[in-house]
Amino acid sequence: MSTLKDQLIGGIAPASETITVRPGVSVTVRGLTRVQMLAVNDYETVTDKEAWMLHCALVDPALTFEEAQAWERTAPAGEIEPVTLIIQRLSGMDEGAGKRAYKSVRGRSRS
């Protein structure tokens, strides 16, 4: 039997989702780990931050950081944003995440 500490450190597989980016082309993404999410701040430009997220979160196909940058350079303007929004949601970083977390603990009694 595993201990609570083992369960925390062992982690869980992040949730994943498949999205169609253009007719006939779908990708599978997963949520970022905490370390990956914090590492986004290591990059200065928005495009590099996005490329890092894509590199970490794309499951199928997996992309290197440089391949993610190449996709950014060649993609139509609106193609990648829906993908990054799903990554943010799966990572608990979307716009409503803070409100959902607040509501989940607001009704709990204090001990």
Domains for the chain: give ranges and CATH numbers: 14-97 (3.30.2220)
The secondary element (H helix, E strand) that includes residue 66 is helix 65-74
C-alpha closest to that of 30 among 89, 81, 75: 89
pLDDT tens digit sequence for 18-39: 999 999 999 999 999 999 999 9
What is the pLDDT, as a whole number, of residue 7?
Answer: 77
What is the pLDDT, as a whole number, of residue 102?
Answer: 44
Residue 49, pLDDT > 70, answer: yes
DSSP letter assigned to residue 25: E
56 class by beta-carbon count within 10 Å (0-12 exposed, 13-18 middle, 19+ buried): buried
- Give the pTM: 0.78
Specify whether the CB–CB gap between 80 and 54 falls below 8 A: yes
Specify whether the CB–CB gap between 63 and 89 falls below 8 A: no
